[in-house]
Structure 1
Amino acid sequence: MIDDQLKEKNKIFGLDLMRVLAILLVLCAHILWIYQDYSNLLTKAINFSGFIGVELFFVLSGFLIGKSLLKLFLNPDYNYKLASIFLRRRWFRIMPNYLFVLILNIAVFSYLGYEVVDAWKYFFFLQNFIHPMLPFFPESWSMSIKEIPYFLLPFVFLVLARIKNGNRNRLFLWTILGSIAAVMLAKVEYNWHTRNHNLADWNVSLRSVALYRIDAVMIGILASWIQYNFLKFWIKSVKIALVLSQLILATLAVLVGFIKLPIAEYPVFWNIFFLPLISIASALMLPFFSEWKSGPERLRQPVQFLGAISYSVYLLHYSFVLYLMKYFIDSTYMDIWQLHTFTALYLALTFVLSWSLYEFFEKPLMKIREEKL
């Protein structure tokens, strides 16, 4: 799911590991659908991990692409041609897999009698741009949040590049900070006019709406700017930033998991601060993971493998694999060991299909991208 636009980033073990942790956290959270009749401390912890996993994706993606955008904008010769190369590389990286799985989902679910409403919106990442996420292909909500900034920022920087004698490094920073501030103001406006009485409504109307979530990606881009401009500080802050990130996550886990702050009574916490705090905690992990240059030999290959297929896993694991398994196999009356077997089969199918999509579709297209661009 995370772009590999800068080849050297793929050589950093820690960033690959962060990507793998993110997809595994998301997988674990969605596996709870299989065990929907079970509720205990472990399931609550796993469910919370799903929040963290998605935020890791957003922040890590912003961090990787942010460095590329920053270097592009700082180039004195930055023009429409360079911007178009960036956009075409990004399109080649994201769109083929996404469109393939999207069309596959439309075909399969239409055949099963499912009415796909406003399917055209999915082709332009508009399924949840300013409105609640449509019910079809629900995991695609993150695509809008992640991709819209990458297709807009190169044009914003083209306009800013026309400012004579402008400090582009500062212009980049103010653009990102301004974007974060604008999204936070949108959250304040949402909190002022909307009253959610349960987390299900909040999840649909705020958490998965791109207008209110683009700040997560921008926080990752901001982290890339900090690393680029304050590398010594970045390296020195590895340990303290990691500890601070864990303290933030632990505090949030206590508030939502044990104290259980109700959204109806604490809307400001849920609507304005909860998700940005997770994004900030995720960004604080970046110094640790980005400075972990190489890992143990026994972990290097599995981490590289899982990192390579992570985008395919994200696109296939839920609607296509898990939903269809639940559709054709009634797990309602399964005992715990049968559910474990069901889960093992689900994971096996997910990884086999994801590897196939990566090996026979995504990888050849990446070779074409490198040859053409």
Structure 2
Amino acid sequence: MPDNQLKEKNKIFGLDLMRVLAILLVLAAHILWIYQDYSNLLTKAINFSGFIGVELFFVLSGFLIGKSLLKLFVNPDYNYKYASIFLRRRWFRIMPNYLLVLILNIAVFSYLGYQIEGAWKYFFFLQNFIHPMLPFFPESWSMSIKEIPYFLLPFAFLLLARIKGANRNRLFLLTIIGSIALVMLAKVEYHLRTDNHTLAAWNVSLRSVALYRIDAVMLGILASWIQYNFLHIWTKSVWFGLVLSQMILGALAYLVGFVKLPIEQYPVFWNLLFLPLISVAAALMLPFFAQWKSAPDALRKPVQFLGAVSYSVYLLHYSFVLYLMKYFIDTYYMDLWQLHTFTVLYLTVTFVVSWCLYEFFERPLMKIRDERI
């Protein structure tokens, strides 16, 4: 069987579906920029969905990468060579698309007269490592949160591998739990020294700062450890985890959308509880999606396509496609139906351009990676 067919056969439909749900929720939230003068229950629900979509990305990414890292680290032969292979494969997966889109953004927005400060930071995922996100290429904030742990953990495990006779499975768990604890302590320190009065300030100073958000990725990695070590419990917790996750999300949606807890009166909720609870809810969905092995072609094929182009869609859809469309097409005086037409055009352009990036750039590079590494 050819390698590409074997990969498709081994793909888990539910995890692809989870990735697709994440990108669609993020897309839906960003589409609200087109309808910025409209505010109702639907727009509030869509805005909340954006929070869920990003957390799904973080947790799912941690789960998938965590399984690879765990298998590498518990191998008694784990050394620099194994770490190097992991890092090179990860570099090939993430960096080419990211660097291409970043350079395109720099070129286009410089041409349009946009003053880009600290552009060099974007090449090293430092644009929001410990400081508020820079205004340029704003959706790249999640890249730092996802990628920094994957470049640091292999080296941390190399150091831990030097401990003779240690239980590496246990060391892996302690490393992940310790990382989550350190990030939560950083959140507490932020809470004690910061007096946020608006969600806009909270969004750029906490939600989008990698130092305070890496715990979401680590929760996904923790879920991979639980699956690896307690598969019998994992397989039996499908519906319990799914129902509990929906209860958590429903409670958060009620508090945010209906009760409307103000951040100035409830800073503990916003600074310490809101985002971690969404991440926990996302992690609780994993047993359900991870055991949904297959689906009919009518459902599998579109999900497979959307999952394949999801990374390209994420990189292109907002700053590059939507911003440029709104820059050249004035939507201010459009009525509702004209905005709907604009939205359809925007989505069409996004998916066509994303497919081109995937088909003619990302996919050939993945083939090279699989052949050489």
Question: TM (normalized to structure 2)?
Answer: 0.98
Structure 1 stretches of 4+ with a deviation exceeding 4 A read 6-10
Counterparts in 2 of 1:206-285, with a 5 A limit? 206-285=206-285
Deviation string, structure 1 residues 260-290 (Cα, Å, up to 9, x no partner): 0000000011001110000000000000000
Aligned equivalents of 2:62, 2:352: Cα separation in 1:
28
Quote the Cα distance in structure 2 between the aligned partners of 1:253 and 1:117: 36
Look up the match of 1:157.
157
1:76-102 C-alpha deviation (Å, 9 max, x unpaired): 100001100000000000000000000
| In structure 2, distance between residues paired with 1:361 and 1:274 | 38
Q: 1:265 & 1:300 partners in 2: Cα distance?
A: 46
Amino acid at match of 2:127: Q
Aligned partner of 1:62 in structure 2 is: 62
Q: CA deviation at 1:296?
A: 2.2
Counterparts of 1:303-322 in structure 2 under 5 Å? 303-322=303-322
Structure 1 portions without partners, runs of 5+: none
- Matched letter for residue 180 of structure 1: I
For 1:44, give the aligned amino acid.
K
CA distance in 1, matches of 2:7, 2:70: 16
Q: Any conservation in 2 of the 1:9–1:15 contact (CA below 8 Å)?
A: no
- Does the CA contact (< 8 Å) of 1:73 and 1:168 recur in 2? yes
Q: Which residue of 1 aligns with 2:41?
A: 41
CA distances 1:316-366 after superposition (whole Å, capped 9, x unpaired): 000000000010000000000100000000000000000000000000000
Q: Distance in 2 between matches of 1:249 and 1:54?
A: 14
> One-letter code of the match for 2:20?
V
State the distance in 2 between where 1:148 and 1:34 align. 32
Cα deviations across residues 245-265 of structure 1 (Å, max 9, x unaligned)? 000000000001000000000
Task: Measure, in 2, the Cα distance between the counterparts of 1:178 and 1:67.
Answer: 18
Determine the C-alpha separation between the residues in 2 that align with 1:259 and 1:89. 46
Counterparts of 1:148 and 1:265, CA distance in 2 = 33
CA contact (8 A) 1:322 1:346 kept: yes
Q: Which residue is 2:351 aligned to?
A: 351
The CA distance in 1 between the partners of 2:367 and 2:237, in whole Å, is: 37
Question: Deviation digits for residues 36-76 of structure 1, max 9, x if unmatched?
Answer: 00000000000000000000000000000000000000111
Unaligned runs of 5+ in 2: none
What are the Cα deviations for residues 149-205 of structure 1, in whole angstroms up to 9, with x where unaligned? 000000000000000000000000000000000000000000000010010000000
Please give the alpha-carbon distance, in whole angstroms, between the structure 2 residues aligned to 1:244 and 1:72: 32
The 1:292/1:129 distance shift into structure 2, 3 A limit, reads same
Cα deviation, residue 8, structure 1: 7.7
Aligned amino acid, residue 270 of structure 1: W
| Matched residues, number | 369
In 2, Cα distance between equivalents of 1:295 and 1:244: 24
The Cα offsets for residues 218-270 of structure 1, whole Å up to 9 and x where unpaired, read as 00000000000000100000001000000000000000100000000000110
Residue 104 of structure 1 is matched in structure 2 by: 104
Secondary structure in structure 2 of the residue aligned to 1:135: coil
Give the AA of the match of 2:45.
A
**Which residue is equivalent to 1:28?**
28
Amino acid at match of 1:223: A
Distance 1:71 1:184 in 2: 27
